Structure 1
Amino acid sequence: MSGSVKLPRDEVDWLLRGALAAASKDDVTPVLCAVQWTIADGRVTVLATDRYRVHQLYVRAPKGTPDGEFLMDRSQADLLLRLRHSNARRLAGEVVELTWTDAETLPDPAPRKVARRYCGTLRFDIIAHDGADADVLSHTTEQVRGTFPAVGRLFDASSESESERASEMALDPEYVSAARHLRVDRGEPLRFIIPARSEQDAQIAGGSRRRPVLILNGSGTARALIQPNLMLKAVKDYGTD
């Protein structure tokens, strides 16, 4: 099965920057270096993780867009972000069309070299403007093979319960900084929800275990989970050195 979705350039840029901020850079697990795209329920949603955090963002899908799901490799996503038409006056009107082809079932026994049709393909077309004579920048590659982890379910497990909150926790500042890509515009605030502790959490390692911090953008179109660090070393209070 194949399909395509056409989105304004600025929406695609926002989705990819927000997703890539959380995507893994460890090539040992290629599927974690990818961005998962899902078109369903009238939304185009992207999801990425590096095991320690999850970013999820969405925009509204144009009417008539077929449902589908595909994995975009980090290198193709980076290329899409970098490519621009040379005519600056047309940049505001750029449109990106993503076209995917689902993978065919591998034969049994599987071949030593996996042909492209068993991986599926993903193509992007960057269209300069809506006119009939618009220049187009294109790129086609294989989809990333593998099953993306069901990290989206972690958001369903997060809670805004009024139970006892953690009084303090350690967060990686790089992860916190990367959450800025969830904002639709620079003036938009981010909402941080400190997780409540369950009885099970309190019984593990003296209560040192912490649930992920939930971050929401002000537009209600992006969210993230960041796993707190374990404070294995003593952390001094300010002014006690």
Structure 2
Amino acid sequence: MKSLMVTIDAMLWAARAVLPAVSKDDVTPVLTAAEWSVKGDVAVLTATDRYRVHQVTVPVSEASEGEFLMPRVQLDWIRRNANAYRSPLARVRVSWSEPEEGAPVASVLGSGVIRAEVVFGTDELAMQRRPVKGVFPPVARLFPEGAAEAGEMAEVYGMNPDFLADLRGLRKGRHEPLRFYSPRLRDGQRLAHPMLVTNADGSARALIQPNLLLDGAAS
């Protein structure tokens, strides 16, 4: 199995940041998962419920490269149980296997497995689930390359209050500011692109659909 290790604090932050955007509607099962993309010494977690996209980048160690779709229930389990082990010595280990070609789809070998463990000394809590099947939509490509492409710093906007409250999870600390970028103007009209929100160092970001925004001047 492939695996990675991540600190408790980094894992708790990542879970808080992306869980609000993981869909609870199982009509589209692939959206009820968070996509993990592991490369080098970082893991990128991405989630979307069609109306918004949340994405975070966290440092990892002892990591294998790969991608998998972790079910919402498993990511929430990590959040709840990791919170009980707030120690610099505690770690979260995530292991995953890919489906074996030719194995029955209904079997573990045919579907793959994701195992999440909260490790603290000799104590260990574990939860095992099958990954969500399907192709995760390529929403990461919707993010602009930089602030200049993202647009102007936002002035006054009305936003869905529930979505606005969920953005707090992008912060690493309670007093860390968030940056809001509105779509650029073209010929006096705003482009129909989502608003970009980032934390202070750019390691967490979100997109909010334009139909959830109200121009403050018009409200």
Shorter-chain TM-score: which interval? 0.7 to 0.9
1:56 aligns to 2:55 (yes or no): yes
Counterpart of 2:109, as a letter, is: R
**Of residues 65, 68, 71 in structure 1, which corresponds to 2:69?**
71
1:194/1:156 Cα in 2 relative to 1: closer, same or farther (>3 Å)? closer
- Gaps of at least 5 residues in structure 1 are none
User: For this pair of structures, how many residues does the alignment match?
Assistant: 216
More strand by share: 2
Any idea what the Cα deviations from partners look like across 1:194-230, whole Å, max 9, x if unmatched? 111346xx8xxxx587310000101221011001226
- Gaps of at least 5 residues in structure 2 are none
SS at match of 1:51: coil
Deviating runs (4+, > 3 A) in structure 1? 156-159, 161-170
| Alpha-carbon RMSD | 2.9
SS at match of 1:224: strand
Counterpart of 1:10, as a letter, is: D
Any idea what the Cα deviations from partners look like across 1:20-61, whole Å, max 9, x if unmatched? 111111011111010111111431110000011101101122
CA–CA distance in 1 between the matches of 2:27 and 2:65?
A: 30
Any idea what the Cα deviations from partners look like across 1:152-202, whole Å, max 9, x if unmatched? 000037763497899865532211211110001011000001111346xx8
CA–CA distance in 2 between the matches of 1:79 and 1:163?
A: 37
* TM-score normalized with structure 1 length: 0.78
**Of residues 99, 107, 113 in structure 2, which corresponds to 1:121?**
113
Query: Are the equivalent residues in 2 in contact too, given 1:170–1:228 (CA < 8 A)?
Result: no
1:215 aligns to 2:197 (yes or no): yes
Query: Are the equivalent residues in 1 in contact too, given 2:152–2:184 (CA < 8 A)?
Result: yes
Identity within the alignment, %: 37
* TM-score normalized with structure 2 length: 0.85
Any idea what the Cα deviations from partners look like across 1:97-127, whole Å, max 9, x if unmatched? 00000122367xxx7x622222210001111
1:162/1:4 Cα in 2 relative to 1: closer, same or farther (>3 Å)? closer
Larger gyration radius, structure 1 or structure 2: 1
1:91/1:194 Cα in 2 relative to 1: closer, same or farther (>3 Å)? closer
CA–CA distance in 2 between the matches of 1:191 and 1:161?
A: 14
